[in-house]
Amino acid sequence: MCGTTTMTKLFKLSIDGPVATITLDSPETHNRLPADQLPDLKRMLTEIEANDSLRVLVITGAGNKTFCAGYNIGDIEASPGKKIDLGDLLGELERLPIPTICALNGAVYGGGVDLTLACDFRIGVDSMILQIPAAKLGVHYYLTGLQRAVERFGLNMAKRLLLLAEPMNAEQLLECGYLDYSVPRDELESKTAELCARIAGYAPIAVSGMKLALNEVARGAVDTERLNKHVMRASQSEDLKEGARAFLEKRKPQFTGK
């Protein structure tokens, strides 16, 4: 499926060959995440996971100011038993079998930060800032959000972000490892496309297996039986044979995911 686009009130899903792109498409509200729109994001993630032709997902925001202003604070206490839990939804994003790239077109706040942490790679414009104002608003972060913050930032930086609500600029975010790349605004699209092309050209069985294993290693909770199955599947794949042939023939491999 190529060149398709699905649009909802807040999200836009575009599929172009092996690349899926979800755009937070409400710049007038700084791409905030209202509770009643999260089911649309969940459906898009389900569609992406079911599409075997996809190799990478990009998540970005519309506009040139804000990637995401976070979870709608007014929804936190509204109908607590009837809405999709943001932490659970971002867990689904984190567990997608394909690599995910967050292309940060601007500032990111609160729950939007956790959205970016659920992705594998982050490219940010060099004018961006990040802040988690939870303590200033009386909000207690959920467990998985705390886990991701500590894993990606380290404990001390997570405390500065969550307990002191310190804003951080692109230079600081690059230095602490949150950003993989910081680029001028006019280079964000090309840098994202470069990473997408690189990932899409690699063997998907190996990539997806290693993505899952790396996240488990980081949490100290490796399912060794599942890891061994992934290693065995890759070792018996046609892609491994193709990779070896391409290396010997000095050409670019054509992987099929089989």
Query: Does residue 255 fall inside a structural domain?
Result: no
Q: Which domain range does residue 25 map to?
A: 4-200
Digit-coded pLDDT (tens) for 191-221: 999 999 999 999 999 999 999 999 999 888 8
Instruction: Based on the fold, state whether residues 103 and 213 are members of the same structural domain.
Output: no
Instruction: Based on the fold, state whether residues 234 and 135 are members of the same structural domain.
Output: no
Domain count for the chain, please give it: 2
The mean-pLDDT minimum among 68-72, 76-80, 96-100, 155-159 falls in 76-80
| Closest C-alpha among 103, 115, 101, 91 to residue 32 | 115
Instruction: Based on the fold, state whether residues 176 and 226 are members of the same structural domain.
Output: no
| Closest C-alpha among 135, 134, 136, 130 to residue 117 | 130
CATH assignment of the domain containing 23: 3.90.226.10
Instruction: Based on the fold, state whether residues 174 and 238 are members of the same structural domain.
Output: no
Q: Is 151 a residue whose pLDDT tops 60?
A: yes
Query: Does residue 258 fall inside a structural domain?
Result: no
Range list of H helices, the chain: 38-50, 86-94, 111-117, 134-137, 143-153, 155-162, 170-175, 188-200, 204-219, 224-235, 238-249
| Closest C-alpha among 102, 110, 16, 26 to residue 65 | 26
Query: Does residue 234 fall inside a structural domain?
Result: yes
Q: What is the pTM of this model?
A: 0.92
What mean pLDDT value characterizes the chain?
A: 92
Instruction: Based on the fold, state whether residues 164 and 210 are members of the same structural domain.
Output: no
Instruction: Based on the fold, state whether residues 235 and 155 are members of the same structural domain.
Output: no
Instruction: Based on the fold, state whether residues 148 and 235 are members of the same structural domain.
Output: no
pLDDT for the residue numbered 76: 60
Query: Does residue 256 fall inside a structural domain?
Result: no
Dihedral angle sign, alpha carbons of residues 59, 99, 141, 43: positive
Q: Is 79 a residue whose pLDDT tops 90?
A: no
Query: Does residue 257 fall inside a structural domain?
Result: no
Cβ–Cβ under 8 Å, residues 67 and 88? no
pLDDT for the residue numbered 2: 53
Range list of H helices, 4-57: 38-50
Query: Does residue 235 fall inside a structural domain?
Result: yes
Query: Does residue 144 fall inside a structural domain?
Result: yes
Digit-coded pLDDT (tens) for 176-187: 999 999 999 999
Q: Is 225 a residue whose pLDDT tops 70?
A: yes
Instruction: Based on the fold, state whether residues 119 and 229 are members of the same structural domain.
Output: no
Query: Does residue 98 fall inside a structural domain?
Result: yes
Instruction: Based on the fold, state whether residues 34 and 56 are members of the same structural domain.
Output: yes
Instruction: Based on the fold, state whether residues 18 and 79 are members of the same structural domain.
Output: yes
Instruction: Based on the fold, state whether residues 110 and 73 are members of the same structural domain.
Output: yes
Instruction: Based on the fold, state whether residues 35 and 59 are members of the same structural domain.
Output: yes
